[in-house]
Amino acid sequence: MRDLETSDKKKKSVFKIMVYSFFLLFLIGMICIFGINAYVVASTKKQILSEEKWQGIKNFDCILILGAGIWGDKPSPMLQDRLDRGIELYQKGIAPKILVSGDHGRADYDEVNIMKNYIVQAGVPSEDIFMDHAGFSTYDSIYRSKHIFEVNRMIIVTQKYHLYRALYIANQLGIKAYGVPTVSKKYSGQTYRDLREIFARDKDFVKSILKPSSKYLGDVIPVSGDGNITNDEAFSEIG
């Protein structure tokens, strides 16, 4: 009988240790996840410029506009807002070139040509617009801007919640970058995007330490040159 009682006590003790260990690991994990997220935001928020601050700044290599999905042959509402802001910055003379970076991984899904056509329709010369056809992630877009397009100083355009991560990656890769957010709007599904962004910041925090090469590289295309070199058959300039 005593042996059974001793055995039960040992089982209960082991179970308690397992529960406490799991809780401790969970707590440490949450601290890491939200701690890294807070650090990424805090370390880059001063690089996000209000309209008053970006008016008149110059001497940037380009304006980087990050992809955000397309609806058929048109930019999604989020992407359109990014494009409109990028066009505005270009017209204000903030930078002489625009670099659009997005997903063109297959023939039936082409963010960058739709982005470039939209910008050309707004009156920006085709030669001032470069297309990064392999911007499959924020990290890829920033990495390729440096190693393929030789960008050293840039303005990044995207929604504010996304800017913190993009700027953090740029900082870690040695790019002088500032962010200009799109006009503040409410988008469907934003709560989900905000939650997903926390984990994305953690992921890119680690990637920025390891600094892996982008999966797709290629020949160097200096952003100081002619953007038409990045055109492909899908691009049809609208005169």
Domains parsed from the chain with CATH numbers: 47-230 (3.40.50.620)
Instruction: Please classify residue 184 by burial: count the beta carbons closer than 10 Å to its beta carbon, then call 0-12 exposed, 13-18 middle and 19+ buried.
Output: exposed
**Could you give the angle at which helices 138-147 and 160-172 cross, rounded to 10 degrees?**
40
Q: Which two tokens stand for residue 115?
A: 């982005």
pLDDT in tens, 8-29: 566 667 667 777 777 778 788 8
pTM for this entry: 0.89
CB 124 within 8 A of CB 193: no
CB 173 within 8 A of CB 138: no
Q: What gap in Å lies between CA 225 and CA 131, rounded to an integer? A: 13
Q: Which two tokens stand for residue 210?
A: 């390891």
Residue 42's pLDDT band, with cuts at 50, 70 and 90, is very high
pLDDT at 82 over 60: yes
